[in-house]
Amino acid sequence: MLLTKFKNRFGPDIIFTHWMLYFKSLRSFLYKKLGRYGMNLDIRPYVTIVGTNNVEIGDNITIRPYTSIYADNDEGKKVIIGNDVLIGPNVYMTVSNHNYQNKNIPIKSQGYTFKDIIICDGAWIGYGAIILPGVIIGKHAVVAAGSVVTKNVPDYTVVGGVPAKVIKKI
């Protein structure tokens, strides 16, 4: 029962998965939980991934410490990370959001909406950025540190702020 509960996740709250991230030779056992992963994947200690089967990661990716990816859902919504993406530490991504249509019902009782997150090839996600459901980060786009991305980011664009807005074109 306990192993089933943690089958689709890994991170520092699950001791046997967390210490495996310290040893490159053991990381491949965790990577097999992912929906898909490419060559040269490096997930650092203190990364949390929930809904591993709904996470697809391309080639040449390093996911820095304290990053959290939440893709746990029964609708098949995914976090898809392309090739050669830079992900800074402490980044947060989630495919789910609470519904809130009726003010007479507690938000926690109104269910969730799920949408994919796609990060295209060559993008750079800065320290502490938050990527919300339904967002597509374009090819070679840059998300500045501390940004909250609520809308799609065009290719070759730098965005920053809360909520993230276009700062410049590359």
The answer to whether residues 54 and 71 touch, using CB atoms and an 8 Å cutoff, is yes
* Active-site option among 36, 98, 165, 168: 98
**Catalytic annotation present for 18:** no
Cα–Cα distance measured from residue 46 to residue 15, given in angstroms and rounded to the nearest whole number: 11
Catalytic residue IDs:
98
